[in-house]
């Protein structure tokens, strides 16, 4: 399945396998106390290393002052030949990293001030091709000495190991951090988004649900990963809707997954349907959040029971036509609000199945209302719009990168409530949660621990909020370990909201390009709504289109992902508008004064369409039925017969063919067909045919007369001969 955020991946940063690590032919001065934390790269580095080194120490990178710990060094041999044994050395820099920038520079560039001293070394065992091996190095308390609480650069170097493909031994260096902490972290709440994107449709299919909720499925991993933690779940309501629309025909694993999700005690709130971005909608000038027009076209009636008492049953509520989408019109008028769907049941025939309403399909059990988690490039004006989007006002989740240097998880921006996620810690923990390799995950967790340590030093009692990235490829083990590493039992959404808010200002720059793209997609939806009048039920077309547009603005999409999604929406709209048309036709020969001319109409849609074929002649020598209604079956090209009458004997006439819906909306482009009128040929043909009949009759009569004459002559000759023979006999 294609995820919403494939750019996040399982190994987004490729382990940072050697963050700032380099490969050199010979590493000099590794054990020197004053050796700098940088090395010169050789040509082998530019070609890419087939051997990687992963280092971690302590418990997720942390150790208590004056205690022993263990360094874990994993050697990964990605080459196709065995890696020989080598020597691994672990070194510590006792100059602490004092801020986030210093930590990033060390991990990404292997650059740190101060000198390194060797903590220990060991011999590594040979590593098979495309395999890994881990070495543990015990570090007693006296080795670490009297390190004060802080974050310290730690590195490991493997030297002397080589593969068959190498002419000489090469060295690999890995960087990480050692966090010495004497105090517990402040209260921390973690938000985990629960999203899943269909491969091509608007809602997840039964097959996709089966895969996602299988024992090794991505949705199963989310439930298993957060079980037993205080993680706050941010759930896309499109997921339960995809399960519920199938009713009893939904995969058993999907129905069980939904039951387990509802049973979790974790606090939760609903994302917008399809994880659509509220920021993009506000900046596009919408006065109400986009909603699916209706989920009725997705309901599987076979999955719902028949009513037993004959009472009217509820159905999914119809939604406004695309013409009411709250986008700014071309005439500059103010956008209008999209009507809220009604929860009132709509009566159905008493013999029909019981169908749920849209609100029932998208419900998130126990969800806290009023929470929005959009993209963080918001302005103060956007927050004002958000307050109108949500009844009673909205609380918006934003990254600290857009709010400025605000301590804590709860802020106030011009009177609007904001939950602030720590950007640096959220990024590090997100990558840890997305890392399926245990050794690489420990490096990511060590980075998160280092960033948390800095935060707790500056604000030891200020609660923190962490928001994991949207990622649909996490494993249960990785997610569970990442959340558990910072989880504060009993500290959740309610506790964060109860923290006094700190005044803050916004610093992010809005992305108007996304807003413009959304406006254009909504404009095309209006055109599509007019086109859909050829269907008996226009929502068969419009409901999936609305969801596709909402998914194209999903929060988790990168710039490229957004561009691709918008392209797909526009391409699908163009294909739909071109799905019904009149194929080009060759010249038609009209040989009679009255006939039914067949004109082809193509329908590539999966539903029957009702069209009106209009025919207009270029001159009055043909009398044509101007409008012919017809129903074209799905996936077919049908010949529509139009009665015509020729007023003159012969000539060339051009017919202009056009399609429209029953409401008069033009469909496709007009097509011209030449008709060669040869109506006099009908009279000529009848005359020739009549002449042939007369000729044949005449010839038949003549032939009959001649035959009878020959027969009469033959009889006369026979009588004469008989008479002569009788006379001769008498004379004798």
* Tens-digit pLDDT profile for residues 90-119: 999 999 999 999 999 999 999 999 999 999
Two structure tokens written together for 658: 């056009």
With a cut of 80, say whether residue 272 has pLDDT above it. Answer: yes
Q: Quote the pLDDT of residue 347.
A: 43
Q: What is the mean pLDDT of residues 16-44?
A: 34
Q: Which residues, 6 or more positions from 263, have their beta carbon under 8 angstroms from its beta carbon? A: none
Looking at residue 731, what is its pLDDT? 64
What span, in angstroms and rounded, lies between the C-alpha atoms of 524 and 532? 12
pTM of the predicted model as reported, rounded to 2 decimal places: 0.80
Q: Give the chain's mean pLDDT.
A: 83
Task: Count other Cβ atoms within 10 Å, centred on residue 641.
Answer: 14
Identify whether the C-beta of residue 37 lies closer than 8 Å to the C-beta of residue 194: no
Q: What share of the chain is helix, strand, coil (3-state, %, to 5)?
A: 35, 25, 40
Enumerate long-range contacts of 484-487, CB under 8 Å, 24 or more apart. 484/229, 485/60, 485/429, 485/432, 485/445, 485/448, 485/449, 486/185, 486/188, 486/190, 486/425, 486/429, 486/448, 486/452, 487/188, 487/190, 487/229, 487/230, 487/231
pLDDT for 469: 96
Residue predicted with more confidence, 686 or 114: 114
Instruction: Say how far apart CA 482 and CA 476 lie, in whole Å.
Output: 10
8 A C-beta contact, residue 5 and residue 215: no
CA 173 – CA 52 distance, rounded (Å): 8
Residues 310-331, mean pLDDT to the nearest whole number = 42
Q: What is the pLDDT of residue 218?
A: 97
Q: What is the pLDDT of residues 374-404, one digit of tens each?
A: 999 999 999 999 999 998 889 999 999 998 7
- Residue 662 reports pLDDT greater than 90: yes
Query: Band of the pLDDT at 680, cuts 50, 70, 90?
Result: low
Q: Could you tell me the CATH superfamily of domain 580-678?
A: Subtilisin-like superfamily (2.60.40.1710)
Strand partners, 643: 596
Residue with token string 């039920």: 537
Above 80 in pLDDT, residue 30?
no
726: its two tokens = 């009788």
pLDDT of 725 reads 65
Give yes or no for a contact between 20 and 104, defined as CB atoms under 8 angstroms apart: no
How high is the pLDDT of residue 692?
77
Per CATH, the homologous superfamily of domain 14-180 is Immunoglobulins (2.60.40.10)
Sign, Cα dihedral of 588, 593, 595, 599 = positive
Q: Is the CB of residue 272 less than 8 Å from the CB of residue 278? A: yes
Average pLDDT over residues 261-274: 96
Q: How many CA atoms lie within 13 A of 482 on its CB side?
A: 37
> Has residue 37 got a pLDDT over 90?
no
Find which of 3-12, 382-391, 505-514 is predicted with most confidence, using mean pLDDT: 382-391
Write out pLDDT tens, residues 548-589: 999 999 999 999 999 999 999 999 999 999 999 999 988 888
Could you tell me if 338 and 291 are in contact, meaning their C-beta atoms sit under 8 angstroms apart? yes
């Amino acid at each position: 399945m294609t995820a919403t955020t494939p750019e996040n991946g399982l190994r987004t940063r490729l382990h940072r396998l050697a963050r700032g690590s380099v490969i050199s032919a010979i590493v000099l001065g590794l054990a020197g106390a004053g050796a700098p934390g940088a090395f010169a790269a050789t040509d082998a580095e530019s070609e890419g290393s087939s051997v990687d080194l992963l280092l971690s120490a302590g418990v997720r990178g942390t150790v208590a002052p004056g205690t022993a710990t263990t360094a874990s060094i994993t050697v990964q041999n990605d080459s196709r030949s065995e890696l020989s044994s080598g020597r691994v050395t672990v070194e510590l820099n006792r100059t602490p990293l004092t801020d986030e920038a210093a930590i990033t520079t060390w991990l990404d560039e292997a650059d740190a001030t101060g000198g390194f001293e060797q903590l220990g070394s060991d011999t590594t065992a040979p590593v098979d091709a495309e395999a890994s091996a881990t070495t543990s190095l015990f570090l007693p308390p006296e080795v670490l000495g009297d390190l004060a609480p802080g974050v310290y650069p730690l590195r490991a170097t493997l030297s002397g190991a080589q593969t068959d493909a190498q002419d000489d031994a090469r060295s690999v260096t890995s960087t990480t951090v050692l966090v010495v902490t004497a105090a517990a972290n402040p209260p921390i709440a973690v938000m985990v988004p629960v999203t899943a994107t269909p491969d091509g449709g608007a809602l997840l299919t039964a097959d996709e649900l089966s895969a996602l909720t299988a024992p090794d499925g991505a949705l199963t991993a989310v439930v298993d990963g957060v079980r037993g933690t205080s993680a706050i779940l941010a759930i896309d309501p499109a997921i339960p809707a995809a399960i519920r629309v199938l009713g009893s025909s939904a995969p058993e694993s999907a129905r069980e997954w939904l039951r387990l999700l509802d049973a979790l005690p974790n606090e939760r709130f609903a994302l917008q349907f399809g994880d659509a971005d509220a920021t993009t909608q506000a900046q596009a000038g919408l006065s109400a959040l986009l909603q699916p027009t209706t989920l009725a076209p997705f309901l599987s009636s076979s999955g719902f029971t028949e009513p037993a008492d004959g009472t009217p049953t509820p159905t999914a509520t119809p939604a406004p036509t695309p013409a009411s989408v709250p986008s700014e019109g071309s005439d500059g008028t103010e956008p209008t609000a999209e009507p809220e769907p009604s929860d009132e049941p709509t009566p159905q025939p008493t013999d029909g199945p019981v169908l749920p309403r849209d609100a029932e399909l998208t419900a998130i059990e126990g969800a806290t209302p009023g929470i929005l988690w959009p993209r963080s490039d918001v302005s103060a004006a956007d927050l004002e719009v958000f307050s109108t989007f949500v009844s009673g006002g909205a609380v918006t989740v934003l990254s600290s990168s857009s709010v400025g240097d605000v301590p804590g998880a709860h802020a106030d921006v011009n009177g609007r409530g904001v939950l602030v996620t720590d950007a640096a810690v959220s990024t590090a923990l997100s990558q840890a949660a997305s890392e399926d390799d245990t050794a690489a995950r420990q490096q990511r967790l060590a980075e998160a621990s280092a960033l948390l340590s800095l935060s707790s030093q500056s604000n030891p009692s200020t609660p923190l909020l962490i928001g994991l990235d949207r990622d649909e490829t996490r494993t249960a083990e990785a997610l569970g370990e990442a959340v558990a590493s910072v989880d504060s039992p009993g500290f959740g959404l309610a506790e964060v909201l109860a923290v006094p808010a700190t005044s803050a200002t916004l610093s992010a720059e809005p992305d108007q390009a996304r807003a413009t793209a959304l406006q254009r997609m909504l404009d095309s939806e209006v055109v599509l709504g007019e086109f859909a009048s050829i269907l008996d039920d226009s929502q068969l077309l419009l409901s999936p289109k609305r969801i596709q547009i909402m998914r194209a603005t999903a929060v988790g999409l990168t710039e490229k992902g957004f561009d691709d999604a918008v392209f797909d929406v526009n391409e699908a709209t163009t294909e739909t508008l071109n799905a019904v048309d009149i194929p080009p036709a060759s010249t038609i020969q009209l040989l009679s004064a009255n006939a039914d001319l067949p004109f082809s109409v193509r329908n590539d849609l999966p539903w029957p369409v009702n069209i009106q074929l209009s025919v207009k002649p270029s001159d009055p020598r043909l009398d044509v039925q101007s409008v012919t209604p017809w129903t074209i079956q799905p996936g077919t090209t049908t010949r529509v017969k139009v009665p015509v009458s020729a007023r003159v004997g012969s000539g060339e006439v051009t017919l202009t063919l056009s399609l429209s819906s029953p409401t008069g909306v033009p469909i496709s482009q007009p097509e011209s067909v030449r008709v060669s009128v040869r109506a006099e040929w009908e009279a000529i043909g009848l005359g020739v045919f009549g002449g042939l009949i007369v000729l044949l009759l005449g010839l038949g009569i003549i032939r009959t007369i001649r035959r009878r004459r020959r027969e009469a002559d033959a009889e006369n000759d026979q009588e004469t001969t008989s008479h002569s023979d009788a006379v001769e006999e008498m004379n004798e």
